[in-house]
Amino acid sequence: MKGIVRPSAVNGCQQGGEAVVRTLSRGRHVVIRNHGHPIGNAEACIGRMISQFLDRGSADGIDIRCAAEIPVPPFDVSR
């Protein structure tokens, strides 16, 4: 699982994750668009995916639809 903030970073990050997952017989690569670290408003989505993984003991069948639905976090300059 990884976050991507800059559109220009999408291809490089996806290629790296896809290269890693090819070495894992049961791996799964999920991209959380519009996010990096910290995870901001993606916390609930990521938490559900992690819970499903732990409950199942496998990445098979995990619902990843929320990863594509997370909006861009608000821009905050108050700090």
Residue 18 falls within a domain, yes or no?
yes
What pLDDT sits at residue 15?
A: 73
For residues 35-61, one letter each, b for 16 or more C-beta atoms within 10 angstroms of the residue's C-beta and e for the rest, the string is bbeebbebeebbeebeebbeeeeebee
Q: pLDDT of 34-77, one tens digit each? A: 776 666 778 889 899 999 999 999 989 999 999 888 888 777 78
Cα distance between residue 51 and residue 71, in whole Å? 21
Looking at the domain assignment, is residue 79 inside a domain? no
Write down the pTM of the prediction: 0.68
Q: Report the domain count for the chain.
A: 1
Cβ atoms of residues 67 and 45 within 8 Å: yes
Residue with tokens 């894992």: 24
Domain that holds residue 18: 2-69
Question: Residue 32: inside a domain, yes or no?
Answer: yes
pLDDT tens-digit readout, 5-39: 555 455 555 677 888 888 988 888 888 877 766 66
Q: Does a structural domain hold residue 25? A: yes
